[in-house]
A and B are shown apart, each in its own frame.
Chain A
Amino acid sequence: MKSWLFVFLLLFSLQAQAVEPSSMVYKQSLLLASEGKIDQSIIALQAASAVLPQGDIWRERMIAASLLLRMQKQQLTRLVPIKHNDYLKLVDAYRQAHAKPQATQTWPVVLLASIFPGAGHAWLGRWHDAGVAALFVWPLLLLTLWAARRKMGPVTVFFALLTVWLWSGTIFSAISLAERGSFEVYMQWWQQLWQASALPGRPW
């Protein structure tokens, strides 16, 4: 009885040794991706998958994970279909069944924020932010116009420079929020895509 148990344990440990390096590489790669090192993660997954034999489950997982990470890196909504990979088939099925994320157009935000301080934020539906942005610019803008009307020379220039800096800052903020909004919508969609793939672990 003891000898059977010993053989079983030996076989079990050998199998564990064979699987361990692949799963460790996979886990480490996802950890890298979660730290924002997407490129390093993709390289590690591709290199490891290249040395694993055809049909190995970890090879399939690594290929699927590297493709999904590349997709996220480039913010793509389409994936190169690879045959004989069940994980990618699941991804494709999910992708076709669900709406793709829509990116916010930046140009109307830039245009509105440039014409009227705070309007860019209002366009994004951020009304409180629009109020703060307007408060940043309007007092100094009025002060500049008042100084210009009174022909105050250097004082006008000083106020004008401050106004330009603040106004540019509010335009920058509106662009930043549009970009952030698009990115976060994309990331939510992509995370659902990852979960639909049934790959183990999460790179976030």
Chain B
Amino acid sequence: MSKATQKTHLCQYHKQNAKIIEFAGFHMPIWYKGIIPEHMAVRTHVGIFDITHMGRALITGPQTEAFLNYMTTNDASALTPLSAQYSTMCNENGGIKDDFVLSRLEQQKFLIVYNAANRQKDHQWLIQNSKPFNVKLEDASDKIAMFAVQGPNAQQTLQKITDTDLNKIERFKCGWTKLAGTDAFISRTGYTGEDGFEVFIWDTPTSNPEKAVQTWNAILKAGQEFGIEPCGLGARDTLRLEAGMCLYGNDIDETTTPLEAGLGFVVKLKKETFIGKDALIKQKQEGIKRKRVGLKMTEKGIPRPKQEVTNESHQKIGYVTSGTYSPILEYGIAIAYLSIENTTEGTKVLIKVRDKPLKAEVVKFPFYDPTKYGYARQK
């Protein structure tokens, strides 16, 4: 039996202002005004997302760094206190257990933020493998509220309600601060491709949501002059897709490896040991047979997950794992796994969109022009 559907601190706000769906056991907003206006707000101004549904665990103890280096593919020892990294955990075959952001709070204290749908699985996996290490694991999901404030005006928005100089918190750095008087931990990370922050309000269970609600309202008020929009999971998905970021369960899972997924930059094969290392070394030596790529539609139509991809001679070469209409580009885009010989940029392919083969082309991530959109845009 599944648990009753959970609600976040903002459930009243969402109920009054958004269309609600159930996602990973939570009542979550799918959109407020609409996916497109929310998406555009984040690309051009700023948006705020309630992402309290995500899983959060604290890992502490003298062997935390060694434990995390064993569990994850990236190099946890490269993290200095108050910095963060994107990483994955694999099974023995190199299949991805989950992808997440790992932050080092103190020398012997880390925070891992993983996917909502994997909360239990990840917690068990970490616990199960922690026995040889002197570490303590604590699922902190239910006592921390979490928001993402994303977009080119995210910094200006938060700067209005904090005394901390946000210029000093660079991309993938974190810090403790007060937001409108409430203690908060913030990290300059996100899932939209834009500059922005993820905000953690500690010690606020959903039974006592005041601090979370006040902070949410204070951010909305501060962002008003920049055109802030509350954003739902719909825009969160279209934004991450345009940026070429993976959605666990769609684009990556235990049957795909980080090398196939184009996440080689978070796999540090020089590390002494980690779960999945042997399988990944073997795959690297043999060469990957398929790879995750971006596809842009060159004729009208919107690709969707599980649709077949063929070459121009209609032979199957792969399948779509995520697809949507891109609000910025105004055409269909997809993430797909294709056999390696078809993954060169510019390769012309066909996607079977509702059984009709429609033309598409292999492109690189992000889908948008990174000089115009995203964190590296030229101002």
Do A and B form a real pair? no
A contacts, CB < 8 Å to B: none
Residues of B within 8 A of A (CB): none
